[in-house]
Structure 1
Amino acid sequence: MQFVKPDINVDFVGKRKAAAIFSLVLILVGLISLMVKGGPNYGIDFAGGTLVQVKFEDKASAGDIKDALEELDLGGVVVQQFGDEANEFLIRAQNTSGELKGISQGISGALEKSYGDGKVEMRRTEMVGPQVGKDLRAKGMMALVYAMIGILIYITMRFEFRFAVGAIIALVHDVLITLGVFSLFGKEIDLPIIAAFLAIIGYSLNDTIIVYDRIRENMGKHGREGFTAVVNRSINETLSRTILTSGTTMLVVLALFVLGGGVIHNFAFALLVGVVVGTYSSIFVASPLLIFWEERRSQKAETTAA
């Protein structure tokens, strides 16, 4: 099944400079947002603290809930609406002292005091110590680094080192833009989001490998056309597959995002951004980087010969 004509010839590589500027702008906007906000908005997994998910029978507001918890020594408290229901909230507190059961009972008692007995349902309580959160954050980062190193070695063995460098830069590009989007929208970074980043890396890499494999194949068949023409031909030849794969993946991720509920909302959002950016990078980042590498190598060879 094909959505594009087999003989299509879109000049993708001719737009590589505009694409590079567009990517740099997106990355810079994300990095500026991170600097302004003092870094990523870490969730309970990485920042440490106590998280409580509560549901009220009657209408409630974040401000009223915060006022009801003032009598408790919870440190900094953040209350935000959770999910699609107006009467369900997440309460995040910095304080992790005491037992989980005691904190849960304390919050439940303070809320029932304000809203009435039996009017508050404690749906979930989690606690992570600051040191554990710090360790989880470090391990999450190392997971991403190890994945990148493994990919670099694998692609170098299967293709060439220049292919591996292009793929790694494209993957870093995808993660940075997704991280920037999370910062812009004020979304939290926790363990499920690290899993989403790893999934984005795998998805983007798969798309890039398909294009790279076609480039290697066409270098033997159409090498006389020049490397730039071969890269552009390869992107066009794999375009139908790229559209099909990305389209079907987007449908599934979109369903998760819309219907999955609050618990996996951020995870699905990360995948949604990652699929779009990963598809873009396999065409406009990973492949054009090979052309840049080839041009630099040719210039060095000409300089040496002169």
Structure 2
Amino acid sequence: MEIFKSDKIFDFMGKRLPFLALSALLFLGSLGIIFTKGLNFGIDFAGGTLVQVKYEQNAPIDDIRQILQAHPKFANASITEFGTPQEIVIRISGSSTELGNDIGDTVHTLLDPTGAFEVRRVDMVGPKVGDELREKGIMAMSLSLLVILAYVSFRFEWRFAVASILALIHDVTIAIGALALFQVDVNLDILAAILTIMGYSLNDTIIVFDRIREGINTSKESKLLLVINESVSRTLSRTTLTSLTTFFVVVTLFVFGGEIIHGFAFTMVVGIIVGTYSSIFVASSFLAQLKFSVNNYRAREAEKLKKQKEKEKMRAMYEKGTV
């Protein structure tokens, strides 16, 4: 299916500076939000206890707060709705060891006067485990970036690798900034969403870069900006279709998936929008800013091809016994 005509060339690089300025604004704004508001770490990373309670009627949140605040073990508890007015989540930060393993029974006993309900879930994570999970999550993202840098350098050229890493950092930072802005609980599922965004964004970028490399070898143009315009224009239909298909899926999860998957779906929605934007407007612009030379690349490729033909010629002569 072709949304954009294959012979239509859009001047993406002619507008690269305004797009880079917009990306810089979003990037710096995201950093500012992250450092000022901070991330709202869930119990997976901060430690603590989470109790999910479902009432048969609307949950009397004010009465629940009053009852729990009177109990010393629940003095710092946070009570919020969880998807519907009948369902609530009680979060207790800090060490969960003092609360004991019967936290569900304790909550049931304390809230018994508030109506008919059931305790649906109890999650407990110690502070030490939370710190370890947070450290390993940061390590996972750092190692992913290093492996991506090595892979793209091997497959393409170091400027392609640097441009792809800059685009990934751009995408992940903006996604994390959105999490900080809306104070979404950052748990293991959010980490999984961020790693998924990295893979999605890299896949789009690699496809664009592969087409640029192909365009350098086949195009009659010698200016990088014109080659990029041709290559990105020819991948535009594919990028748009892939992004829209994925976007509709995650929006459906966000709207109908329930509160439990809300954070993951929200992160994916932001990541797909930013990742698609960066693969079209940002990654290639970074490559142009790094002063990649089309003529030097063609000369290197011609030299490689010459050496390969010489090896094949020598091999053929050896097999015929003339060497």
TM-score normalised by structure 1 residue count: 0.91
Aligned-residue CA RMSD in angstroms? Answer: 1.7
3-state SS, counterpart of residue 216 of structure 2: helix
3-state SS, counterpart of residue 9 of structure 1: coil
Residue of structure 2 equivalent to 1:138: 135
Q: Is 1:231 the equivalent of 2:228?
A: yes
Residue of structure 2 equivalent to 1:128: 125
Residue of structure 1 equivalent to 2:268: 271
Residue of structure 1 equivalent to 2:105: 105
Indicate how the Cα distance of structure 1 residues 99 and 65 shifts in structure 2: closer, same or farther if over 3 A, else same.
closer
Measure the CA separation in 1 of the matches of 2:61 and 2:279: 43
Residue of structure 1 equivalent to 2:59: 60
Deviation at 1:221, TM superposition (A): 1.4
Task: Please tell me the residue identity of whatever aligns with 1:153.
Answer: A
- Identical positions, percent: 46
TM-score normalised by structure 2 residue count: 0.87
| Preserved CA contact (<8 Å) 1:72 1:106 | no
Q: Any residues of structure 2 matched to 1:1-150 within 5 Å, and which?
A: 1-37=1-37, 39-70=38-69, 71-83=71-83, 85-94=84-93, 95-98=95-98, 101-112=101-112, 114-116=113-115, 119-150=116-147
Deviation at 1:58, TM superposition (A): 2.2
Q: Which runs of 5+ in 2 are unaligned?
A: 296-323
Indicate how the Cα distance of structure 1 residues 155 and 80 shifts in structure 2: closer, same or farther if over 3 A, else same.
same
Deviation at 1:72, TM superposition (A): 4.2
Post-superposition CA distance 1:33-91 (Å, at most 9, x none): 22222x211011000000011111222243332212122413521111111x1111111
**Matched pairs, number:** 293
Measure the CA separation in 2 of the matches of 1:224 and 1:10: 15
3-state SS, counterpart of residue 246 of structure 1: helix
Measure the CA separation in 2 of the matches of 1:109 and 1:263: 25
The ranges of structure 1 where at least 4 consecutive aligned residues each deviate by more than 6 angstroms after the TM superposition are: 295-298
3-state SS, counterpart of residue 147 of structure 2: helix
Post-superposition CA distance 1:236-281 (Å, at most 9, x none): 0100100110011111111111111111111011111101100001
Q: Which is greater in Rg? A: 2
3-state SS, counterpart of residue 73 of structure 1: helix
3-state SS, counterpart of residue 80 of structure 2: strand
3-state SS, counterpart of residue 101 of structure 2: helix
